[in-house]
Amino acid sequence: MQATTTRHNPRIITLGALLLLALGAMIITSTGMGFIEISPAEVIKVIISRITGDPGLVAGLDPVFSFVIMDVRLPRILTAAIVGSGLSICGVLFQGILLNPLADPYTLGISSGAAFGASLALIANLTLFGIYSVPLFAFIGALATLIVVLYLSSFDGQMSANTLILSGVIVGAILAAGISFMKYLADEQVAMIIYWLMGSFASKTWTDVAVSLGAVLGGLGVAVFYGRDLNIMSLGGRASNSLGVETARVRKILLITGSLVAAVCVSVSGIIGFIGLIVPHLMRFLIGPDNRNLALVAALAGGLLLLVADTVTRAVLPTEVPIGVLTALIGGPFFCYIFRRRQQGAIHG
């Protein structure tokens, strides 16, 4: 094939490889960072020894290292990276389906639904499912919201981007009022609600890693599978139908996939904004709008970015800043900058 059809191919491979390398390096480095400093070589030794079951590798190392790495830090670090990937994939999907570069994983009110469910569990002190009560209620809240929003915006089997966005905004507003009311009613739990709303990866477990990894890999698979259909859908519904794309069906599948991944991410970590908005933008600027490549590269970049942010708040800053606050504080101004450049026609996102 000529260079023009694969205009970004060498670039995509280079970028993908660089991101993969950076992500791997970041996981190792960040695992070593924190109150107890551990060198990257020691981190690698501990991980390999745990995987292979060979105790010889860790001979002479402080046994506490193994516990800190395998039971405290790695679950948190991996969860952060996986959630970052998930949110970015959702961003790619939602921006593509809604044909709106401002769409993000929370456009359909998923975050408000999750927040409502989590607040409910916290205020009512529901501990039915132990430590998984809050995430489970968050997930149920997100799912219920999705169902309501899809119901509100479906008409004759069609869903227009505008009605979807509008339904998401309306349902989100109602839920936000409900959350405010619960905060008003709550006594000592109000701090927990606020803390949850701002997002955190503190005390994540291997279960969180497994659940989020499953959801994110599934989401990535679906995104890549329907990637070319999604590309063609950017020509508009009439054109994509005429090109053999089952537009209504693909759109519904991708909406539900994106929402499920977002719901899992939110339940695991709380509400983390801007990653799902900025990463797809940035990657589209670097490699073009082909959603098949975009989903893969955005997954890597989103994982890296959220891991860096979480490492900053965990190990660099003197006190832990809620991760959702950090991403908004960094992401917000950055987004303003991109938005400004776009208006000036310098970026074609």
Q: Which residues bind another protein (CB under 8 A)?
A: 1-2, 4-5, 7, 96, 99, 225, 228, 231-232, 234-236, 238-239, 241-246, 284, 288-290, 348-349
The CA distance from 338 to 278, in Å, is 9
Contact indicator for 1, 277 with CB cutoff of 8 Å: no
* Residue whose CB is less far from another protein, 63 or 244: 244
Pick between residue 56 and residue 345 the one whose CB is nearest to another protein.
345
> For residues 203 and 242, which CB has a smaller minimum distance to another protein in the complex?
242
CA distance 299 to 342: 23
**Shortest distance (Å) from residue 230 CB to another protein:** 10
Considering beta carbons, is residue 125 or 343 the nearer one to another protein?
343
Which of 150, 158, 154, 138 is closest to 108 using CA atoms?
A: 150
Tokens found for residue 102: 């401002």
Min CB(288)–another protein separation in Å: 7
Closer Cβ to another protein, 34 or 288, answer by number: 288
Residues 94, 107: contact at Cβ < 8 Å? yes
> For another protein, which is the closer residue by CB, 51 or 238?
238
Contacts 24+ apart (CB under 8 A), 95-98: 95/280, 96/230, 96/231, 96/233, 96/234, 96/254, 96/291, 97/161, 97/230, 97/233, 97/251, 97/254, 97/255, 97/258, 98/161, 98/164, 98/165
Please give the Cα distance from 28 to 146 (Å, whole number): 37
How near is the Cβ of 213 to another protein at its closest, in Å? 23
Rounded to a whole number of angstroms, the minimum distance from the CB of residue 2 to another protein is: 7
Residue 101 CB, nearest approach to another protein (Å) = 8
Q: Which helix (H) or strand (E) holds 152?
A: helix 133-153
User: Which CB atom, from 225 or from 339, has the smaller least distance to another protein?
Assistant: 225
Helix (H) or strand (E) holding 262: helix 247-269
Distance separating alpha carbons of residues 100 and 109, to the nearest angstrom: 16
CB of 267 to another protein, least distance (A): 30
Smallest separation, CB 97 to another protein (Å): 11
Gyration radius (Cα) of the chain, Å: 21
